[in-house]
A and B are shown apart, each in its own frame.
Chain A
Amino acid sequence: MTRQVDALQAKPAPLGRSRFLSTLNLANIPRRGLILLAVLLALLIAAPAFTSDYLLSILILILYFAYTGQAWNVMMGFAGQLSLGHALYVGIGAYMTAALFIHFGTPPWIGLLVSVPIAMAAGAVIGFLAFRFRVAGTYFAILTIAFAEFARIGFDHWDWVGASSGLFLPVATYTQNDLWHLRGRPIMFYYLILAMTVLAFLLCRWLLGSRLGYFWQAVREDEDAARAVGIATFRTKMAAVVISAGLTSFAGMFYAFYYNNLFGEQVFSIGRSIEIILGPLIGGVGTLFGPVLGAFLLTGLAETLTEILGLIGVDLPGAKQVFYGFCLLLVVMVMPEGVWPWVARKLGLETRQ
């Protein structure tokens, strides 16, 4: 009896700063991996100095997908809950920050205080309905699509956000970068999305190694076995959905202020949700580097392809989509775990990084 009581009173150990930093401890990444990571980061930081505007816009796109892929991966890769409707959270994040900015001049960083909680609440509603009423697997994925579709139709009819004629942010020719209002030149957006991607990576790394991260993986691997070791699976899955939704909605703010126009019909479309998941699927679901590598491979190659087709004067509508499909097929058949685990083995790095 006393043993039991002891155990139950296990120290509440707050996740303070020192613990956070110690979990980020890079010591357990092999040296080669660290060097590689440092070089990659240095290249990305230096990139704007020697790339054209066009190349910069592609790097921005790549990092955008690396970020959203990472955010999606929390739900599917870590906790095993397949969402095919992540455009919903991007859309909520984009529309809310943009509309507040347009109507009230609210700086986007303040707008986040509204948009992120709304996206998280939307995730919570979906999660609650699904997990409370045991909607799992394919049906869960369909439910996530359904909500994105509701939003697509809803936003397309909502006058406050411009309905079907779109929502536009005021644009001028910027000579200065205003980070607080996110008005400025592409280079500002490049560094913003780079910082977001790095932070998301670190956050996910910390989450995966945390108590919650272990519980997520247990649920992903075998939900019944997870319950048998005392894991409250409902709460665990809810946390995954809500965190993933919140992170994803952050990217919505970026999207809105970078592109300056929003059409519900596009923003919430299934195509957008699929684009988000392609990176991690190809790079490696459930790994930390997978979403990043996948985004580089997929977007990088797709843009190269478009470029080459343009150069030789071939105009093939939908070539990019066909290319995506081809990549996906290839990866599913040749390396179903994604490209990263294979690369990691080749580099002699741990597979579960």
Chain B
Amino acid sequence: MSALLSVAGVSKRFRGLLAVGNVSLDVMERDIFAIIGPNGAGKTTLFNTICGVFRPDGGTIAFAGERIDGHPPDEVCRLGIGRTFQLVRPFPGLSVLDNVIIGALLHHRSVEDARARAEEVLRRLDLFNQRHQRAASLTLPDRKRLEVARALATQPRLLLLDEVMAGLRPTEVDRMVAIMTELNRTSGLTIVLIEHVMRAVMALATRVLVLHHGAVIAQGAPAEVVRDPQVIKSYLGAEEL
């Protein structure tokens, strides 16, 4: 079976800084693929390169067998890749519901259909009761959930989540993990997540990739990766195990 997302030898520089250097990874359909690594490792930059925010300086990216590197972000989304922003970016002046309706309008011509779809997504993410609130007035965890809801509303085949668990309380993390698991099981959604919360990574991931200074230092099943001496040294630290 060929990969749903295939990143091959991708590099991205910012002036002198090599933020992502020669990264390759394959995400299979229905995988939950976690990317971990210390601050500044290049995780978000890698996401942005996949989503079309940056054009890679080298390498190729393919989604469902089609080259997408260099495609603009809106086109990448239309092909079926949804994303969240690490620094959340809801449409601040609009209501929670309108935020999600906008996502749903990608594949719905009629606003009524989009509204129905959006309400369904909001129920799923426990945001339904806040639907008439302005997005700017939400708490940070709720805004993170709103990011997920808006991305989900576009009906992606692949969802890229950038630290959506950060700042959540343990019970909220568990709830989010449950939601992701359910989405993955019932709708066959493929997920790539950047995450520092190891509790969530261990609960969710089928594969883990570790990035350090822009390079892949380990990749494999979660249990193996966390035992890798280099990973422990550069990222996890002995005490976390």
List residues of A whose CB falls within 8 A of some B CB: 1, 3-4, 7-8, 10-13, 19, 23, 209-211, 214-215, 217-218, 221-222, 224-233
Contacts and interface: CB of A to CB of B under 8 A. Distances in A.
B49 interface: no
B103 A229 contact: yes
Q: How large is the interface on B (under 10, 10 to 19, 20 to 34, 35 or more residues)?
A: 35 or more
Contacts of A225: 85, 89-91
Contacts of B151: 228-229
Main secondary structure of the interface of B (DSSP, over half): loop
B116 interface: no
Interface in B95-122: 98, 101-103, 105-111, 113-114
A26 to B, nearest CB: 16
Contacts of B12: none
Interface stretch (B17-25, B70-78, B216-224, B233-241): B70-78
A225 B82 CA distance: 11
Given A211-B109, A214-B98, A229-B106, A222 B91 contact: yes
Contacts of A215: 102, 105
A13 B110 contact: yes
B109 A10 contact: yes
17 contacts: A7-B107, A8-B107, A11-B109, A13-B109, A214-B105, A215-B102, A217-B91, A217-B93, A217-B98, A218-B94, A218-B102, A221-B91, A221-B94, A224-B89, A225-B89, A226-B91, A229-B82
Q: Which of A1, A210, A225, A233 has the most CB of B within 10 A?
A: A225
A227 B102 contact: no
B89 A3 contact: no
Main secondary structure of the interface of A (DSSP, over half): helix
B111 A214 contact: yes
A232 B72 CA distance: 9
A227 B91 contact: no
Contacts of A226: 74, 91, 102
B92 A230 contact: no
Nearest to B89: A225
B80 interface: yes
B91 A231 contact: no
A225 B113 CA distance: 22
Contacts of B105: 211, 214-215
A3 B155 contact: yes
Contacts of A222: 89-92
A8 B64 CA distance: 16
Q: Which of A13, A23, A215, A218 has the most CB of B within 10 A?
A: A218
B83 interface: yes
Contacts of B102: 214-215, 217-218, 226, 229, 231
Contacts of A217: 91, 93-94, 98, 102
B150 interface: yes
Given A3-B187, A10-B107, A229-B154, A221 B93 contact: yes
